[in-house]
Amino acid sequence: MEETLKILVVDDDESDCLGVSLGLTQSHIYLELDKVRDAEHAVYAIQKTDYDCIFLNYRLVDKDGLTLIHKLHSSEIKVPLVVLNVPQNEEIAVELMRAGITDYTMQSMSLSPEILVQTLRRAIRIHRAQMQVELVNKQLTRQRQEMERQQQYIHAQNLKILAATGLKSQFLATISHELRTPMNAIIGFSQILLRGKFSQLTHQQADMVERILANGQHLLTLVNEILDFAKLEAGKLELNLEIFDLSNLVNSTVAEIYPEAAAKKLSLLVQNDLKNTLVFNDPVRVRQILTNLLSNAIKFTESGGIWVEMTETSPNSVVIIVRDTGIGIPPQDQERIFEAFCQADQSMTRKYPGTGLGLAIIHALLRVMGGKIFLESQFGVGSVFQVELPRQVNLTPSSVGGLDLSQIDFNVNSNRVFSATPNLPQSNYPSTQASQMGYLKLKP
């Protein structure tokens, strides 16, 4: 130790005090040594001088040694403090350590110079380590406080976002509801005009009213999508569950949309591989899911066809697959197209119209139903959307409206391929064509 150490010895016994002083001075350490008799003088000295170590005689403890230790502790004076002459009593040692001393020894004040130096060095080392630990603890505390502050901020922001989302959903629900009424009037009156009940329209007038009707219907679809999305986001969409024949529903939906496919000269085929066609779900919402998938398939397909397949992965889950030979979806867009207002082509000049809400609604509806959607697509080749539904949504009621589902006779009509309209050709297309695509992307 090359530096000069400042040492304070606190002892009311002159001879002991002298022992420590002598020991330290013989130890070839450069040091400045101060001696005081009691705690009061010690505190005064410590406030004036930065000591490197304090030696305190335990015998003082009975008088005011502990007071000194407590005072140093409470006034945050950080000095290595060694208590000498501690009796051989574990409780006392524990009490001293708790009070914040650095080290203690049971030996008397008149220690050999070597032991004194060892004790001094150890005390300084321990003290430095303690200071470091304290510093790290302080830093950790500061970091924890900062994290808590951040968490509180994030929590407050979340509350704001939740409130804003609630307002937005309410706004969307109100606006779309208000828009539906005039839209229904526009659609209704256009239809009356076209029927020619009151007066016959000229060719040009009929053409204009037809456009009003088509645009009105399109607008109503958009408004309905926004309303559904707002309800789903706000968790206010309720399913009207009932038992129905899935195969009938799929066939009638496909038949309804068939003219759109025919207008683009696309084939539209249905294959039913269901052993049991009965399901317990909301038919309106299942139809909505299928209609959305089919209208996308038609919209994004220029040639070839669309195939709908019904199958079951287990007795408790049914699957509807919609395949197309359309433009496909690039891999980087396959995840995000399920987000609201998201389209693969986001450009202003995009070719295909739409809100970008259809798949988000499907995804949200399936979450409510306990179903899943899987996407398989290859850019420029085609897409496969696979919807997996529980046969019974909301597993609790085993019996609905007096009907016991387990008693219902299974309507077996396996591997039946048929067209949705009498004019469509029969086909065995789906599985082969789909497996040629050979890729699978999951969207749980």
Q: Which residues bind ligand ADP (CB under 6 A)?
A: 292, 296-297, 300, 324, 326-327, 329, 337, 343-345, 354-360, 383
CB 338 to ligand ADP: min, Å? 7
CB 151 to ligand ADP: min, Å? 35
The region that residue 287 occupies, defined by phi over 0 for left and psi between -120 and 50 for alpha, beta otherwise, is alpha
Closest CB to ligand ADP among 42 and 322?
A: 322
Q: Distance between terminal CA atoms of the chain?
A: 68
Distance separating alpha carbons of residues 346 and 431, to the nearest angstrom = 32
In sign, the C-alpha dihedral spanning 87, 88, 92, 93 is positive
Closest CB to ligand ADP among 227 and 297?
A: 297
CB 322 to ligand ADP: min, Å? 8
249-280 as b/e, with b when 16 or more CB fall inside 10 Å? bbbebbbebbeebeeeebbbbbbbbbebbbbb
Look at residue 268 and give its three-state secondary structure.
strand
Contacts of 18 (CB under 8 A, 6+ apart): none
CB 180 to ligand ADP: min, Å? 19
CB 300 to ligand ADP: min, Å? 3
Give the pair of three-digit tokens for residue 366. 């399936």
Closest CB to ligand ADP among 325 and 419?
A: 325
φ, ψ of residue 81 in degrees (nearest 5) = -125, 120
Closest CB to ligand ADP among 35 and 231?
A: 231
Closest CB to ligand ADP among 114 and 345?
A: 345
Closest CB to ligand ADP among 123 and 357?
A: 357
CB 400 to ligand ADP: min, Å? 31
Closest CB to ligand ADP among 54 and 361?
A: 361
Strands 372-378 and 382-390: what pairing?
antiparallel
Residue corresponding to tokens 């004076």: 77
Closest CB to ligand ADP among 31 and 293?
A: 293
CB 144 to ligand ADP: min, Å? 44
Closest CB to ligand ADP among 43 and 293?
A: 293
Q: Are the C-beta atoms of residues 251 and 308 closer than 8 Å to each other?
A: no
Three-class HEC string of 13-35: CHHHHHHHHHHHHCCCCCEEEEE
Q: Are the C-beta atoms of residues 7 and 35 closer than 8 Å to each other?
A: no
Contacts of 443 (CB under 8 A, 6+ apart): 334, 335, 338, 363, 372, 373, 374, 375
The residue number whose beta carbon is nearest to ligand ADP equals 354
Distance separating alpha carbons of residues 317 and 302, to the nearest angstrom = 33
CB 439 to ligand ADP: min, Å? 14
Burial of 181 (0-12, 13-18, 19+ CB in 10 A): exposed
CB 362 to ligand ADP: min, Å? 8
Q: Are the C-beta atoms of residues 391 and 316 closer than 8 Å to each other?
A: yes
CB 170 to ligand ADP: min, Å? 23
Closest CB to ligand ADP among 58 and 300?
A: 300
Distance separating alpha carbons of residues 219 and 183, to the nearest angstrom = 8
- Number of Cβ within 10 Å of residue 291's Cβ equals 16
